[in-house]
Amino acid sequence: MSNEKIKVAITQGDINGIGYEVIFKTLADPKITELFTPVVYGSSKVAAYHRKALNISNFSLNNIRSGEEAHPKRVNIVNCLDDNVRVELGKATETGGMAAFEALKKAVEDLKNGFVDVLVTAPINKNVTFSDKFNFPGHTEYLAEQFNATSHIMLMVSPKLKVGVVTGHVPLRDVAELLTMERILDKIRVLEKTLRIDFTIRKPRIAVLGLNPHAGDNGLIGDEEINVIAPAIEVARNEGIMALGPYPADGLFGSGDVGKFDAVLAMYHDQGLAPFKSIAFSEGVNFTGGLPVVRTSPDHGTAFEIAGENKADESSFREAVYLAIDVFKRRKMHDEISSDPLKNADRRDLDGSDQ
């Protein structure tokens, strides 16, 4: 493997939120550039505004035009906005949304060109970012289109727990209709592949949740478990995937049995993310599985209510950077092993996978 440092593209997110604060706090350690080369996509003027608001000194940014020019021993910034952009801390503004999208667009362009290696996105406010140019519920859907990923999954990651969702940013009233056997099976498959390749879990065990209370109680409280979820699990198991369930969400998370699994597949956003964030909020990372590129983000939002107050916890953002680097290295290792028949043979001898 190459010893060349990984270039981490970091988007500024909403300029009125805590994006710059968690970026500054994560990159403040002078030794950080020994681990990777940071390339922030945003605005040096907006960065200076936040630095002043947060009273941060001794932190300089190296201005570049693209990730290709990144200095390996500096914190680099690619200017994506004109200098007239206005910061209004704590407010959801059209300008804030536009600025978030421009930074994301430029970072994705550099990622496609191979100028940077991985992408870490600071939080956006979907209400103001949503526009004719950004007609997506969030980062995940935009990146899936940009990189032609037909199968992808939003996966929340922490050392204690990994939770994926079948349906993401959709109204709760639409969930049951969106839960088809094909969709659930697709998410099980992409989750299994992600766990195997990106997290080097050789034979992942996946707990699949039911949709209804008590996982439907044998059809007494809804029949999605019987007609849709269980059949999808059965097909997955016939393909050699260790998918188990459907489990009642409260029982699985409440009993501690969740620790017996490598990941949980929830049917909808809050079913999975509410318990995840209660267990692992400060260290949780949002990872997009199924993309040909590596993308992570912190598991929190723009936190407008504390913007500019120096109260933001950067732990989740820091973990997002580290996870992106780790997954990039694991994928590289997987590709090297897959392309080398001798290494494949050695691996079979070691793990007994030819038995």
Per-residue pLDDT tens for 138-153?
Answer: 788 889 999 999 999 9
Residue 355 has pLDDT above 70, yes or no: no
Per-residue pLDDT tens for 40-68?
Answer: 999 999 999 999 999 998 889 999 999 99
Do the Cβ atoms of 78 and 67 come closer than 8 Å?
Answer: yes
Do the Cβ atoms of 179 and 224 come closer than 8 Å?
Answer: yes
- Tokens read off for 227: 């007609």
Per-residue pLDDT tens for 190-239?
Answer: 999 999 999 999 999 999 999 999 999 999 999 999 999 999 999 999 99
Residues composing the chain: 355
Domains of the chain: 1-149+301-312 (3.40.718.10), 151-290 (3.40.718.10)
Do the Cβ atoms of 72 and 3 come closer than 8 Å?
Answer: no
- From 45-54, 98-107, 124-133, the region with the lowest mean pLDDT: 124-133
Q: What is the pTM of this model?
A: 0.91
Q: Mean of the pLDDT values across residues 333-354?
A: 61
State the alpha helices, DSSP H only, in the chain. Answer: 19-27, 32-35, 44-53, 94-112, 126-129, 139-146, 175-178, 181-197, 224, 230-238, 249-255, 269-280, 315-339, 341-351
The chain-wide mean pLDDT, for the chain, equals 91
Residue 347 has pLDDT above 80, yes or no: no
Residue 348 has pLDDT above 60, yes or no: no
Residue 343 has pLDDT above 60, yes or no: no
Do the Cβ atoms of 137 and 169 come closer than 8 Å?
Answer: yes
Residue 91 has pLDDT above 50, yes or no: yes
